[in-house]
Amino acid sequence: MPLVRTESTKELFRDGKPSSGSRQGGDSVTDQAAQAGVQLNRRLLVGGGALVGIGGLLGLSGALLLSSAIVSATRKWVNQLERPPREIAKLRLRQARAAAAAGAEAWRNGPATQSQAASPRQRANRP
């Protein structure tokens, strides 16, 4: 059995053995301390739990306010645009597809020669 040392038992026990002034028997101080176990101050536990709960609620309300401000600013920004973001995204997608198709065609056909690179107007104006 581990030795429990508190202020009241420091003087009663030395080197793990009862001193001459302590009682011996089933009603000793160590038996009472072992049965009591760890004692927690309930007021401190309840107070700490309450503060953690209040802090969580304050943090949650702050996060809600922050997200509301961000959403509001984003809506104002979108409303000020000339074109809606959906239209801009469709335009960029068409441009990307056209560029990819042109790149794939150039890859398949190889490098262009001087005569192939000239436009039809330039070919018509040649002597």
Assess if residue 122 is contained within a domain: no
| Residue burial 9-24, b: 16+ Cβ < 10 Å; e: rest | beebbeeeeeeeebee
47 and 22 within one domain: no
Tell me the mean pLDDT in the region 63-92. 95
Summarised one tens digit per residue, pLDDT across range 24-61 is 555 555 666 566 678 888 999 999 999 999 999 999 99
Which secondary structure element, helix H or strand E, spans residue 123, and what is its range? helix 120-124
In-domain check, residue 112: no
100 in the same domain as 50: yes
Residue type (1 letter), 35: Q
Global pTM reads 0.44
Residue 26 in any domain: the answer is yes
Q: Is residue 12 part of a domain?
A: yes
Question: Hunting for tokens 């072992």 — which residue is that?
Answer: 34
Domain count, the chain: 2
Percent of the chain with pLDDT over 90: 50
Residues 98 and 47 in one domain: yes
Domain range holding 12?
7-36
Q: Is the pLDDT of residue 10 over 60?
A: no
Q: How confident is the model at residue 96 (pLDDT cuts 50, 70, 90)?
A: very high
Amino acid symbol at 103? G
